[in-house]
Amino acid sequence: MSYEFLVLALLFLVPGALMWLARPDLRWLMGRVALASLPFAATEWLFYPEYWTPRFLFDLAERIGFGIEDVLFVVGLGAFSSTAYAVAFRRTVVSKGGTSRHGWRAIGAIVLMLAVAGLLNAVGVPILYAAVAAMVSCAVGALVVRPDLVLPSLWGAGLSGVIYLGLCLVFELLVPGVFERTWRPSILLRGRFLGVPLDELLYGIGSGLAATVFPAWAFRLEFTPLQRPDSNRVAAGR
């Protein structure tokens, strides 16, 4: 199949779409995270072709540094990784109150993660590991001030890793041999799990950790037990 990344990106939209349909109370959170994920789509030029070499629609990666696939991928990843914990454990998100400027907190978190990843990459850390290190280190910083998010973040990381693995296995079934053809040999984690590069699973786990912590920190949210499907709409930021 010619456009492997497009297939992968479309697959990554499926879990979030199912969660969107099943959990109306989490749609506000998914929308905010999807919007916050968009700047990360523009970082593809750091991954291509150092980390992998897929073909992009209209050769956009060669022309502008990222493609339509990147946008679909980060939106899908953000949607399911930010809500995996809440869906699995029947939790919803409610506002903790406060007068903080939530938008600026979210922007600050995005800028900080991009800056840390860029700095690590500039000093020689391969981009995938730089990205994971940035997500994990910044998430740990947020957990210092929000220790109530430690357990949700760990579960979010693990659940996102499992979903990520499942999607990659379906991807391999749809496009046999894609990981051997398209991914560069790993620099540090040379092994594979069920044929999926460990690098990819590491990225999925790191994304789940960050996506669980940062929205709750930035928008001052907390996870609470889900009572009734129609009574848990989040009012934060409105």
Domain-located, residue 196:
yes
Domain-located, residue 230:
no
φ, ψ of residue 53 to 5 degrees: the values are -135, 60
Q: How many structural domains does the chain have?
A: 1
Burial of 23-55, coded b for 16+ CB within 10 Å and e otherwise, reads bebbbbbbebbbebbeebbebbebbbeebbebe
Judge residue 219's burial from the number of C-beta atoms within 10 Å of its C-beta, 0-12 exposed, 13-18 middle, 19 or more buried: buried
Domain-located, residue 232:
no
Q: In 3-state terms, what secondary structure has residue 101?
A: coil
CA distance linking residue 205 with residue 231, whole number of Å: 31
Amino acid identity, position 80: F
Q: How confident is the model at residue 105 (pLDDT cuts 50, 70, 90)?
A: confident
Q: What is the pLDDT of residue 1?
A: 52
Domain-located, residue 237:
no
CA distance linking residue 72 with residue 235, whole number of Å: 27
CA distance linking residue 167 with residue 175, whole number of Å: 12
Contacts of 6 (CB under 8 A, 6+ apart): 57, 68, 69, 72
CA distance linking residue 124 with residue 225, whole number of Å: 44
Q: What is the pLDDT of residue 162?
A: 97
- Kindly report the CA angle at 32 between 107 and 221, in degrees rounded to 5? 85
Q: How confident is the model at residue 80 (pLDDT cuts 50, 70, 90)?
A: very high
Per-residue pLDDT of 114-160, as tens digits, reads 999 999 999 999 999 999 999 999 999 999 999 999 999 999 999 99
φ, ψ of residue 190 to 5 degrees: the values are -85, -10
E-only strand ranges, the chain = 91-95, 192-193, 196-197, 221-225
Q: What is the pLDDT of residue 233?
A: 47
Range of the domain at 80: 4-225
Domain-located, residue 210:
yes
**Within 10 A of 58 (CB to CB), how many other CB atoms are there?**
10
Residue with tokens 């990344």: 5
The whole model's pTM is what?
Answer: 0.89
User: Across-strand partners of 92?
Assistant: 224
Domain-located, residue 234:
no
Per-residue pLDDT of 46-76, as tens digits, reads 999 989 999 999 999 999 999 999 999 999 9
